[in-house]
Structure 1
């Protein structure tokens, strides 16, 4: 059964108090806002896939910082296992490419409040990423 699960990675970028989202062009989440991401290529790590997908969908060059968690998407067949990765993309402006219809920065508070038509768990993941992206307090 494990072989039937599609492995994918999400790239979560927080810049100041904003997070980067793309509006999906393709199913299963066409028209919804979500984090850049996609399927892992054979032999690719979750972190490498997140960095690659971010660049393919937005043009931003980044580095993986840390994993944020794993989500299962069971309402499609075959199901997906999404590993979310906090990525640092300190400069540059994103441009929609690949399967991203649109790309934009959104205030994290607006995303967490559920004010966007977004994929499942985008709000929770944005909050988790924002908390993990904060510099350590002394």
Structure 2
């Protein structure tokens, strides 16, 4: 019964009107996503997102604040999606080894906000970024409510 629910964390790192993204096939309409992944057994949410950003981007980061808690009930198993605002502590962007990944990351970069629409991100998500995450720290219902 360990497939009743999964927890996924994503990190949003913003510097100079640019957001950190990883290129990885997310869906048929989008190949770029926020870095993150599943919380592993015994990990805190903070440890998980810091680990995921280091593994996927080469950056040492810290959690600044909780942004949003969302549901993805259509996932199998159902998914809770938690987004955190992150800050870079040190490191340079590097590609992960992808040695154990079935869906490898092929690029990592800081992307200007104005290019997000071209990469398949919704106007809702761009609006949230530009307005400093209104209602951050809240439960937002479906993940689509934050434009993801």
More deviation, 81-90/67-76: 67-76
Runs of 4+ with deviation above 6 angstroms:
none
Any idea what SS the aligned residue of 1:89 has?
strand
Instruction: Note the C-alpha offset of 1:65.
Output: 0.5
The 1-side partners of 2:123 and 2:34 are apart by 7
CA-atom RMSD in angstroms: 2.8
In structure 2, the gaps of 5 or more residues are 99-103, 134-148
Residues 88-131 of structure 1: per-residue CA shift (max 9 Å, x gap): 015543112133221111112332xx22135xx6961x553551
Aligned match of 1:78:
77
Contact 1:22 1:96 in 2 (8 A): no
Aligned match of 1:88:
87
Aligned match of 2:14:
14
- Compute the TM-score of the two structures, normalised by the length of structure 1: 0.75
Any idea what SS the aligned residue of 1:62 has?
strand
